[in-house]
A and B are shown apart, each in its own frame.
Chain A
Amino acid sequence: MAVNPDIVGREYPPESVYEVSREKIAEFATAIGSTDPAHFDGDAARALGHPDVIAPPTFAVVIAQRSEARVVRDPEAGIDYSRVVHGEEKFVHRRPITVGDVLVTTSYVDAVRSAGGHSMVSTRSEIATQGGEPVSTVTSTIVVRGGE
């Protein structure tokens, strides 16, 4: 079943806040095999000019995917999650995500395309502080595999 192209332009405003903790950054950094002290040691991060421990560049996916899940679950989108594979991902950071950040995310459906029996859904998640400071933009394309 093809994805409904009418969802293009749909906006999913923030529903919850994400509080960035020291433990979660350390857990994520460890899971990607990083031993970089900027993820574990506030003094090491400050020596690089950051206010405190910073997250790895791809940590923003943890926050963005929670928000993007609303697109996948949108009953009007017609996305079969069991047929979803990841096509593309891109991060643009205005600054690193940092311990203590309280972040909110708005997600948008930027494009729905069909090719070769598959549907490609491109989303954009704008991550900002609760105070409105833009932090990261995460763009993602999922491929919904066609089939029977």
Chain B
Amino acid sequence: MTGTPTTRPSFDAVAVGDTVAERSFTLQRLDLVKYAGASGDFNVIHWNERVATSVGLPNVIAHGMLTMATAGRLVTDWAGDPGAVVEYGVRFTNMVPVPDDGTGATVVVSGVVATKDDDARTVRVDLTATCDGSKVLGRAQAVVRLP
């Protein structure tokens, strides 16, 4: 798939309350292994089920930063320029368990334009991310500069 639209939303055309997008993302064990290698975060709870369950986790869990990056793709794809994101912050409110069942975990992400800053020509996109009905990111906000 191509993630980037050919036309970028313009600041003037975007209104508070606009829905940015809603998408489902699948995370499988392979995605966690790839993220571990790319990020350098080799915490065993992200790849070793034996250790993860022995410390009381329901299963291997996704890196919070992988969930954050995945949700961020909703914003960068909408903006048409990953460099347009000038701020991005989240709280990690619930874990994303990733079972080794061929299906993995599904994270549903949606975003809405919450505020506009006319001077900076930026908008704040508030994101919602859920996995099996529980919110996995809290206060997830991205500030995006638009042309």
Bound pair (A, B):
yes
Interface stretch (choices B13-21, B88-96, B98-106, B111-119): B88-96
Q: Which residues of B contact A130 (CB under 8 A)?
A: none
Per the bound structure, the CA–CA distance linking A28 and B41 in Å amounts to 12
Contact at B87–A27, with CB atoms within 8 Å?
A: no
Per the bound structure, the CA–CA distance linking A28 and B51 in Å amounts to 26
A55 to chain B, nearest CB (A): 8
Contact at A31–B87, with CB atoms within 8 Å?
A: no
B 36-73 binary contact with A (CB < 8 Å = 1; else 0): 01111100000000000001000000001110111011
Q: Which residues of A contact B134 (CB under 8 A)?
A: none
Name the one of B34, B39, B70, B92 contacting A62, with C-beta atoms under 8 angstroms: B39
A 42-54 binary contact with B (CB < 8 Å = 1; else 0): 0001001110001
Contact at A87–B40, with CB atoms within 8 Å?
A: no
Per the bound structure, the CA–CA distance linking A43 and B83 in Å amounts to 14
B16 to chain A, nearest CB (A): 22
Tell yes or no: B31 within 8 A of A by CB: yes
Per the bound structure, the CA–CA distance linking A33 and B87 in Å amounts to 20
Q: Number of residue pairs across A and B with beta carbons under 8 Å?
A: 112
Tell yes or no: A57 within 8 A of B by CB: yes
Known: A36-B4, A36-B77, A89-B90. A61 touches B39 (CB 8 A): yes
Contact at B38–A30, with CB atoms within 8 Å?
A: yes
- The secondary-structure label for the interface of chain A is mixed
Contact at B70–A33, with CB atoms within 8 Å?
A: yes
Interface residue total, chain A, C-beta cutoff 8 A? 40
Interface stretch (choices A8-16, A91-99, A100-108, A109-117): A91-99
Name the one of A55, A65, A82 contacting B41, with C-beta atoms under 8 angstroms: A65
Contact at B91–A34, with CB atoms within 8 Å?
A: no
Q: Which residues of A contact B89 (CB under 8 A)?
A: 88-91, 139
Name the one of A28, A36, A95 contacting B39, with C-beta atoms under 8 angstroms: A28
A133 to chain B, nearest CB (A): 16
Per the bound structure, the CA–CA distance linking A55 and B38 in Å amounts to 13
Contact at A48–B83, with CB atoms within 8 Å?
A: yes
Name the one of B34, B40, B68, B86 contacting A58, with C-beta atoms under 8 angstroms: B68
Q: Which residues of A contact B25 (CB under 8 A)?
A: 33
Contact at A66–B77, with CB atoms within 8 Å?
A: no
CB proximity to A under 8 Å, residues B24-40: 25, 31, 34-35, 37-40
25 A–B contacts from the bound complex (CB under 8 Å): A28-B38, A31-B37, A31-B38, A32-B66, A32-B73, A33-B25, A34-B3, A34-B76, A35-B1, A35-B3, A36-B82, A50-B83, A56-B69, A58-B68, A58-B72, A61-B39, A62-B38, A62-B40, A82-B55, A85-B92, A88-B90, A89-B89, A89-B90, A90-B89, A96-B82
A residues sitting closer than 8 Å to B (CB atoms) are: 24, 27-28, 30-39, 45, 48-50, 54-58, 61-62, 65-66, 82, 85-96, 139
